[in-house]
Structure 1
Amino acid sequence: SEQESGYTGVPPASNRLVTTRRPPPPSTNRSSGRRRRRRGRPRRRAPAFHFLSRAREREPGSPTARVPSDRPPSSRAPLLPDPSRTLQIPGEPALGAARSLPGMDKSSALEYINQMFPTEASLSGVEPLMQKIQSEIRRVDASILAAVRQQSNSGTKAKEELAAATNAVQELMYKIREIKTKAEQSETMVQEICRDIKKLDCAKRHITTTITALHRLTMLVSAVEQLQVMASKRQYKEAAAQLEAVNQLCSHFEAYRDVPKISELREKLKNIKKILKSHVYSDFTSLGTGKETEDEDLLQQLSDACLVVDALEPSVREELVKNFCSKELISYKQIFDGAELAKLDKTERRYAWIKRRLRSNEDTWKIFPPSWHVDYLLCIQFCKITRTQLVDILNNLKEKPDVATLLLALQRTLEFEEELAEKFSGGTTTARNKELESDDENEGTEHNKIVSDIRKKYEKKLGVPNDEAEQDKEKQKDLSVPGAGFNFHGIISSCFEPYMAVYTELEEKSLVEQLDKLMQEEKWETEEGSQTNILSSSMQVFLVIRRSLKRCSALTKNQTLFNLFQVFQRILKAYAAKLYARLPKGGTGIVAAATGTDGQIRTSDRDEKMICYIVNTAEYCHQTSGELAENVAKIISSQFSDKVDMSDVQDEFSAVITKALMTLVHGVETKFDAEMVAMTRVPWSTLESVGDQSEYVNGISSILSSTVPALGSLLSPTYFQYFLDKVSSAFSLL
């Protein structure tokens, strides 16, 4: 059987070759061969190399592969293919390996087959493997065929659906065009139907407009004729209502002003308005002459005339009110332009006059509508006239104005302006009566109470009673007009500004006198129990300055306040000079000569305390002067705020601090002179031995122990450290 199959035996393990040999030609007697196999000889399977030879026949030109192996057949293990590409079947060769054979190269295929079938016994698995491969091929073919059929059916269905959608779109476009055509036809039909209706509607509208215009024209002609009759009879109340109607009718004919009839009516109406205006002006001339008390109907007639004025142009009302105010103030000009009352000390009587005028004519002036603000405009014109007259009075003074008179006039002017602001602005301000009764010591709590200081300061000099002004305030009634809104502050009082130099001079004189008085009363020591360790005169100086500032800021916040600030600078510099002059002076001592300092200053314990008080006082003044400058900058006008600076004054107090500390240092150094003189007299060159204790050092230490702690309790830590540094520097220079 081995010879028939072409197998000559298994070569040794060391040199085994797998060869493909063409099988012998089949026997021509096929039937006899079949009979021999059928008689009981089993059918042999084709060996592995026969399968390989078929594969090589498919690839002509492939050489016979010889796969040597060093291992015996029994020790070889079949090579498993890559699990990712094979399907392992237990007990059988991998099916995936058979699938991958066509994709392998020739050498890999030979090596793989030899590994799959290393022995003759392993050839028994070839047939099952072939069957499985064929079964797999059939299954894959069936799947491919089913997929092809399914795709064929799907493609046909998709084509049918696409064709149906295309037909639907075409049908829709056709219907849209059809609808559009029908709409255009309908629009054409409607236009043809409505063409005649449009003409009729336009004609109707024109006819209606014409009828309305003619009707209004008839009404206008009739109203103008009636208005002419009312104007001639001075029927102001009826004429006011008629004039409103005529003005409204005329507004409809603005586009026809060039039409002759309309132009004629407008000219006629203009003449009627002139007649009404002249009649109203003529009737108002009788107001204030006393006729209103004799003729009871005059006030009602004038009240109706105001309605006519409101119906006329706004310029008519403005002119009427202006003429009325000028007429009311004619007597004021005549009275206070005279030589008797044209004086600065009569300023208060000016304001009393206008208050009486407002109060006495309150009922009469009710004829004016509240929206006219007659009393408000009258007060504005009064303030302007008063300012002009006061400027003339101040300019005509041959000498400088008396300070008391000037300040009293300014005070009364400020009070009057405050009253006007309260009356016509509707705001709430502090009553002047409370300000006049306020105590001078509590004035720092409210800024509006400062004016009372001036009154208290100069009231004794003037000796002028204030009963009349106070009675006027009590009797004054509230005539406030809501919404008028005018700033009365400064409308008159600003004219005093150029003449306030005498005020600043007086304030400076007063401050200098008070400073001298404080320095004379200064005890140069602090009160018992005081924790500030500063001189009382410094606090009093700033209290006086603060009061002066508040008085001036209540009067003005412009140039005068800035001039007063410069006065404050001079006063504080003078105070610094007085502190500087109070420091002890001295001659020349041994320590001073050795250290190159100013000289010998002998100070007692009281002097040392005083110097410490001066240092603390100068420090307090340095800080408080800066705060004073900040307060002035907040109060003063913006044009002067940048000029407010206390740096020069602060430099003066810094110089006082430096000088005082150096004086203190020199005083302590002077106490060492006795020890230093004794030390210089010792014959140091002849001494044979030196002890561990020096009586001179002990003496200096005793002086420091008795002096330094007391000074440290009085000085601030910063200046005490400066003092110690200077003392130690003096010793280092010896």
Structure 2
Amino acid sequence: MDITEHVNNILDQMLAAKGTQNNFNSIEYINKIFPNEQSLSNIDEVLRILKEKIGELDNEIRNVICSQKSVEENGRKTLEEAQTLIITLTNVIKEIKTQAKQSEKIVNEITCNIKQLDNAKRNLTASIIMLNNLHILVQGTFILKDTTKKRQYGAAAKTLQGILDVLKHFTKFKHIPHILKLVNEIEDVCSKLGQQILADFYQTFDVKNVSNTLSSNQIQLLAEACLVLSILEPKYKRELLNWFVDSELSEYKTLFQDNQDIAWLDKVDKRFAWLKKHLIVFEEKIGFLFPPNWEVSECIAIEFCKITRKELIKVMNNRSLELDVNLLLPAISKATAFEKLLSQRFTGASLRDGSNERTISKKMTNPFSGLITGCFENYLNIYVEAQDKNFAKMIEQFVEEHSKLDQQQVQKAEIFITSGKLFTQYKNCLIQCISLSNRLPLVLLSNTFQKYLREYAHKVLQSNIPRVGSNLSIGSISNTISNSSGGVLSAASSAAGLIQTFLKDLENKSYSIAEMIQLCSIILTSNYCLETTQQLEKKIQEKIDPLLNDKISMSSECDIFHGIMSNCIQLLTHSIEYSCAQPLINMIKTNWSNVDTPFGHSPYVTTLISTFQQLIPVIRENLHDLPIQFYNFCTKFSTTFIAKFISNLYRCKPLSQGGAEQLLLDSHTLKKTLLELPEYQATVHHKIPQSYINTVVNGMTKAEMILKIVLVSSSPSEMFVENYFKLLQEKDISEFQKILDMKGIKKSENLVLCDLFRKKCLNLGKDYDSLANNDGDGQDIELDSTLDSSRIKRLEKLIKKRL
């Protein structure tokens, strides 16, 4: 081993012993201190410096170890002291617990005696109170007997109240014979007292003594007797009131017997006048005898109402043939007014008494409502029949009013005034009927409402739909509908048949502007009737007895009004479609095989756009209150027009390449026009529904695809068929044949292409729909590959210019 290796080993051992990190390079460090041989002359000085540093480090380590040792010793002492303190504290706590138990034992011994004293005191107090109550009860019973004999009812009332209050404390002691005997004695005295007071009233108000004026002693005696009855069992008070009210109304029963002329409905107000006068006399002479909370006047009034109801039922049954609406309604009106007067005079507290026959709802504003008028409920069919006749006359008046109107002078569509009159009358009848009854009569009235809603729909709305080129009069139309048997369904079928007749008329002629405005008026009125009928149905369902709620339904009438709106929109659609018929005929008559270069849109397109822009805004302005119905019309018209346009495209044959390009440009122009048409020259713009936009885009895109297929070269045949499926995606051989006819394909080539088409359909099978995933760029590539580039650029320029 050479010297260098030896030195390195020693250094490594030193470094390992010192715990030096492995990244320390001893050789580099030595080379840094001794860069050359001359520097080795200072080795002794370097060793001295290193030894001094080592000595300093050793001293520091020694000091740290010493200080660490002292800290450990201090910590150990502190821990020992803490343990000593914990032991001391534990001993103190044990001592405190022992003393606490001893204190608790001493307190229990002291409080035990206190509790015994408290119980003794409580029992003694209860015994004293019970003996005192018993004394009061015995003495009170003696006093009550004495006051009863002497008819000193004022003193008896005070004593009786005290006795009854004290008697409550003896309820659980009734098993004691002495207490039971005393209780029975008190009950016997109370019974005798009650019977004695009733006898005093019977004697005082005996028929023989009615004319005599009460003395002050009698007044005081009876007034105090009423105070006693208020304390006694309720049966005595109830018996007295029943007898007294019956005696007060005995005169009324005699005067208004059912065989008397004054008992008939035309003199029903005399009954009410009698009660008003009688109550005034009663309250002046003897009303003050009774406590205010007895509500004796109210009791008399309530019994009067019950008697009146029974008597009116009896008299109406006896003279039912004489009843009519002119007699019934005034009587009901007077009875309703009288019930309202009673609600203003009395609180209805007697009606809310649990013993009363009638239960009053908390929501009822008039507790007396129906006490008398309830007798008329079984006769309200007379009222409903009268309303039926009134509505029939009203409908005839409406028909006459509309027949006199000059529709040519109407400048703007409006809701028919007659519809407002009809529903106003409905509202008045409904309010009146609800005030009379919310049961079967309301069901009958609802049926009458439904009947004349249908009459109005047929005789007024349906009959005012303008007809073109026919001798059938409005009157005959109304008769056809109204005479149809089978109810709503038959009427709807008749209406549908008439609409088909109207549509046939429109095959040869279109509506004028005035007639279109008339149709818009009918749409507005039908929508108003539809919404108001729904509100009417909801209101009746809210007011009618819940048990009869399922009998109220006006859905069939709503369907009729909805159907009229749909029919009018269909008529408008066909009318404008007919206005577009001649330009489409000119489109077919054009010799497209001679067209060489597109020249802007064709003359027939100009005529179509002019027709659109002239007629559509008229409908929009007259249906501005019903944008939904207007856009519904636009959607239906665009659907029928586009279908007609595509049908006429197939008839434009044969097509030259220029002719196909011209029709493609026309299609782009019509698509743009149709998309903008709903808001053309509109003062207030609305957002066009996406459904309408989709209808126009999808329909006109198909027309464009047809023309693009026509522009595709038929050679090679396989490529043409492939492009057909990519552009049009129609598997109908007849559609494919129509396109071949538009291209003017020869018969031999036609057979080859049709055969390829059938094979392609078989190969595609159910996976044919996957072709829809091809985007428009692919279509344009196929199209561009078959056309002359200069013609393509010119065509695109024309299209962009038009769009």
Q: In which range does the TM-score fall when normalised by the shorter chain?
A: 0.5 to 0.7
Q: Tell me what 1:631 maps to.
A: 536
Q: Tell me what 1:389 maps to.
A: 311
User: For residue 561 of structure 1, what is the amino acid of its counterpart?
Assistant: L
Q: Relative to 1, partners in 2 of residues 1:587 and 1:194: Cα closer, same or farther, differing over 3 Å?
A: closer
Q: Which of 308, 330, 335 in structure 2 is aligned with 1:413?
A: 335
Q: What's the CA shift for 1:512?
A: 1.3
Q: Relative to 1, partners in 2 of residues 1:354 and 1:195: Cα closer, same or farther, differing over 3 Å?
A: same
Q: Tell me what 1:491 maps to.
A: 371
Q: Tell me what 1:279 maps to.
A: 196
Q: Tell me what 1:241 maps to.
A: 158
String of CA shifts for 1:312-333, please: whole Å, max 9, x gaps: 2344434443443344344444
String of CA shifts for 1:506-533, please: whole Å, max 9, x gaps: 1111221232234334412269797555
Q: What's the CA shift for 1:638?
A: 5.9
Question: Is 2:252 the partner of 1:353?
Answer: no
After superposition, where does 1:694-705 map in structure 2 within 5 Å? none
Q: Tell me what 2:245 maps to.
A: 325
The structure number with the bigger radius of gyration is 1
Q: Which of 226, 230, 250 in structure 2 is aligned with 1:306?
A: 226
Using the alignment, how far apart are the partners of 1:149 and 1:260 within structure 2?
A: 103
**Which has the larger share of helix?**
2
Say if 2:144 and 2:189, in contact at 8 Å, map to a contact too. yes
After superposition, where does 1:196-215 map in structure 2 within 5 Å? 202-215=119-132
Higher alpha-carbon deviation: 652-661 or 352-361:
652-661
Using the alignment, how far apart are the partners of 1:484 and 1:584 within structure 2?
A: 54
User: For residue 147 of structure 2, what is the amino acid of its counterpart?
Assistant: M
String of CA shifts for 1:27-54, please: whole Å, max 9, x gaps: xxxxxxxxxxxxxxxxxxxxxx8xx399
Q: Tell me what 2:599 maps to.
A: none
Say if 2:249 and 2:304, in contact at 8 Å, map to a contact too. yes
Q: Relative to 1, partners in 2 of residues 1:128 and 1:317: Cα closer, same or farther, differing over 3 Å?
A: farther
Please give the secondary structure, in 1, of the residue aligned with 2:406: coil
Using the alignment, how far apart are the partners of 1:511 and 1:600 within structure 2?
A: 35
Q: Which of 122, 125, 137 in structure 2 is aligned with 1:220?
A: 137
Q: What's the CA shift for 1:342?
A: 4.8
After superposition, where does 1:11-22 map in structure 2 within 5 Å? 18-19=3-4
User: For residue 392 of structure 2, what is the amino acid of its counterpart?
Assistant: V
Please give the secondary structure, in 2, of the residue aligned with 1:399: helix
Using the alignment, how far apart are the partners of 2:15 and 2:516 within structure 1?
A: 120
Say if 2:197 and 2:225, in contact at 8 Å, map to a contact too. yes
Q: Relative to 1, partners in 2 of residues 1:120 and 1:170: Cα closer, same or farther, differing over 3 Å?
A: same
Higher alpha-carbon deviation: 248-257 or 221-230:
248-257
Say if 2:348 and 2:367, in contact at 8 Å, map to a contact too. no
Q: Scaled by the length of structure 1, what TM-score is found? A: 0.64
After superposition, where does 1:490-529 map in structure 2 within 5 Å? 490-522=370-402, 523-525=404-406
Say if 1:418 and 1:489, in contact at 8 Å, map to a contact too. yes
Say if 2:133 and 2:166, in contact at 8 Å, map to a contact too. yes
Q: What's the CA shift for 1:243?
A: 1.3
Say if 1:533 and 1:714, in contact at 8 Å, map to a contact too. no
Q: Relative to 1, partners in 2 of residues 1:397 and 1:206: Cα closer, same or farther, differing over 3 Å?
A: same
User: For residue 362 of structure 1, what is the amino acid of its counterpart?
Assistant: E
Say if 1:587 and 1:601, in contact at 8 Å, map to a contact too. no
Q: Tell me what 2:213 maps to.
A: 293
Say if 2:516 and 2:619, in contact at 8 Å, map to a contact too. no
Q: Relative to 1, partners in 2 of residues 1:304 and 1:603: Cα closer, same or farther, differing over 3 Å?
A: farther
Q: Which of 28, 46, 57 in structure 2 is aligned with 1:140?
A: 57
Say if 1:342 and 1:393, in contact at 8 Å, map to a contact too. yes
Q: Tell me what 2:85 maps to.
A: 168
String of CA shifts for 1:668-721, please: whole Å, max 9, x gaps: 999999x99xx9xxxxxxxxxxxxxxxxx9xx99x989x969976995474996
After superposition, where does 1:639-658 map in structure 2 within 5 Å? 639=546, 644-653=552-561
User: For residue 325 of structure 2, what is the amino acid of its counterpart?
Assistant: V
After superposition, where does 1:580-591 map in structure 2 within 5 Å? 580-581=462-463, 583-584=466-467, 586=469
Please give the secondary structure, in 1, of the residue aligned with 2:375: helix
Q: Tell me what 1:447 maps to.
A: none
Say if 2:219 and 2:289, in contact at 8 Å, map to a contact too. yes
Q: Relative to 1, partners in 2 of residues 1:603 and 1:497: Cα closer, same or farther, differing over 3 Å?
A: farther
Q: Tell me what 2:751 maps to.
A: none
Q: Scaled by the length of structure 2, what TM-score is found? A: 0.59
Q: What's the CA shift for 1:234?
A: 1.4
Higher alpha-carbon deviation: 497-506 or 612-621:
612-621
Using the alignment, how far apart are the partners of 2:572 and 2:62 within structure 1?
A: 122
Using the alignment, how far apart are the partners of 1:197 and 1:716 within structure 2?
A: 97
Q: What's the CA shift for 1:265?
A: 1.8
String of CA shifts for 1:469-521, please: whole Å, max 9, x gaps: xxxxxxxxxxxxxx999722233323322321121111111221232234334
Using the alignment, how far apart are the partners of 1:656 and 1:102 within structure 2?
A: 105
Higher alpha-carbon deviation: 655-664 or 371-380:
655-664
Question: Is 2:525 the partner of 1:620?
Answer: yes
Question: Is 2:486 the partner of 1:565?
Answer: no
Q: What's the CA shift for 1:278?
A: 1.0
Q: Tell me what 1:598 maps to.
A: 504
Q: Identity over aligned residues, as a percent?
A: 28
Q: What's the CA shift for 1:281?
A: 1.6
Say if 2:442 and 2:544, in contact at 8 Å, map to a contact too. no
Q: What's the CA shift for 1:637?
A: 1.8
Q: Relative to 1, partners in 2 of residues 1:124 and 1:610: Cα closer, same or farther, differing over 3 Å?
A: same
String of CA shifts for 1:418-469, please: whole Å, max 9, x gaps: 2222333499xxxxxxxxxxxxxxxxxxxxxxxxxxxxxxxxxxxxxxxxxx
Say if 1:277 and 1:309, in contact at 8 Å, map to a contact too. yes
String of CA shifts for 1:161-188, please: whole Å, max 9, x gaps: 3333333333333334334444444454
Using the alignment, how far apart are the partners of 1:124 and 1:544 within structure 2?
A: 134
After superposition, where does 1:38-49 map in structure 2 within 5 Å? none
Q: Relative to 1, partners in 2 of residues 1:726 and 1:539: Cα closer, same or farther, differing over 3 Å?
A: farther
Say if 1:368 and 1:374, in contact at 8 Å, map to a contact too. yes
Q: Relative to 1, partners in 2 of residues 1:664 and 1:268: Cα closer, same or farther, differing over 3 Å?
A: closer
Q: Tell me what 1:4 maps to.
A: none
Q: Relative to 1, partners in 2 of residues 1:160 and 1:396: Cα closer, same or farther, differing over 3 Å?
A: farther
Using the alignment, how far apart are the partners of 1:713 and 1:148 within structure 2?
A: 104
Say if 2:144 and 2:156, in contact at 8 Å, map to a contact too. yes
Q: Which of 298, 302, 309 in structure 2 is aligned with 1:380?
A: 302
String of CA shifts for 1:294-344, please: whole Å, max 9, x gaps: 323222222212221222234443444344334434444444444215544
User: For residue 637 of structure 1, what is the amino acid of its counterpart?
Assistant: I
Q: Relative to 1, partners in 2 of residues 1:615 and 1:188: Cα closer, same or farther, differing over 3 Å?
A: closer
Say if 1:622 and 1:650, in contact at 8 Å, map to a contact too. no
Using the alignment, how far apart are the partners of 1:626 and 1:348 within structure 2?
A: 42
Using the alignment, how far apart are the partners of 2:407 and 2:425 within structure 1?
A: 20
Q: Relative to 1, partners in 2 of residues 1:601 and 1:353: Cα closer, same or farther, differing over 3 Å?
A: farther
Using the alignment, how far apart are the partners of 1:188 and 1:654 within structure 2?
A: 94
Q: Relative to 1, partners in 2 of residues 1:730 and 1:509: Cα closer, same or farther, differing over 3 Å?
A: farther
Q: Tell me what 1:10 maps to.
A: none
Using the alignment, how far apart are the partners of 2:579 and 2:48 within structure 1?
A: 133
Q: Relative to 1, partners in 2 of residues 1:560 and 1:362: Cα closer, same or farther, differing over 3 Å?
A: same
Q: What's the CA shift for 1:282?
A: 1.8
Using the alignment, how far apart are the partners of 2:448 and 2:431 within structure 1?
A: 14
Using the alignment, how far apart are the partners of 1:106 and 1:602 within structure 2?
A: 109
Say if 2:384 and 2:444, in contact at 8 Å, map to a contact too. yes
Gaps of 5+ in 2: 350-362, 472-500, 587-603, 625-629, 652-803
Q: Relative to 1, partners in 2 of residues 1:195 and 1:108: Cα closer, same or farther, differing over 3 Å?
A: closer
Using the alignment, how far apart are the partners of 2:172 and 2:15 within structure 1?
A: 109
Higher alpha-carbon deviation: 120-129 or 358-367:
120-129
Higher alpha-carbon deviation: 339-348 or 107-116:
107-116
Say if 1:584 and 1:603, in contact at 8 Å, map to a contact too. no
Q: What's the CA shift for 1:244?
A: 1.7
